[in-house]
Amino acid sequence: MNIDELKAAWREDKAPEVNILTPQVIGRTSSAITKVRANMRNEFIGSILCSVILIWFSMTNQKTPLILNLTSIMLFTLLFLTAFYYFKFYTFYKSVGLSNLNLKESLSKAAYDLELNIELYKTYNFCITPLALIVSIIVIGRNEASDYIIHTLSTNLSIKSILIISVVMLGSFVITYFFITMHVKYSYTKYLAELKEVLNDLNAG
């Protein structure tokens, strides 16, 4: 064999196996991906509306300079985390939309990327939920919340007060984690399970 024939034979040996899915499988996977993308769109719109409302109320309500500064810092952190997260999620959203889900390899990548983004989504929500709650309480409570925060920051807290605050914060995180997990399970995890089930069936076959 000459060099050209050897190259041609090598390319044939290295050609990847293309696994085209059946129409039934494509229907299941397309339905799951469509629902995931729809949930992502709804959450993005909801996040934008909530952010606008929080910013508007925070900036229009008169507060002491200390409370205004604290609120501004928390809002900036909240918006920064939200922007970073939705940039990542948008990348995944576009990637899935452009993927050829008729192929097993593309389906495997979509399932892998979805699983990564679900973990990122959990982390994002676990970080921003306490911040969003604090900002909301300050905005809704207005003067009462401002007075309480100023009093707390300017007073030497007793061991009992510190323990109470710690227990309340821990309880808040536990409740937050529970609701985030339930929301993620309903909005994304069950569709990931569908994709994995399809992949397991394909691998078994």
Domain ranges for the chain = 24-96+109-198
Cite the DSSP H helix spans in the chain: 3-14, 23-60, 65-98, 104-141, 143-153, 159-184, 190-204
- pLDDT at position 17: 52
pLDDT of residue 45: 92
pLDDT at residue 12 greater than cutoff 70: no
Q: What is the pLDDT of residue 174?
A: 85
Question: 118 and 192 in contact (C-beta within 8 Å)?
Answer: yes
Mean pLDDT of 122-142: 78
Whether 192 shows a pLDDT value over 80: the answer reads yes
Please say if the pLDDT value at position 99 is more than 60: yes
pTM of the predicted protein model: 0.73
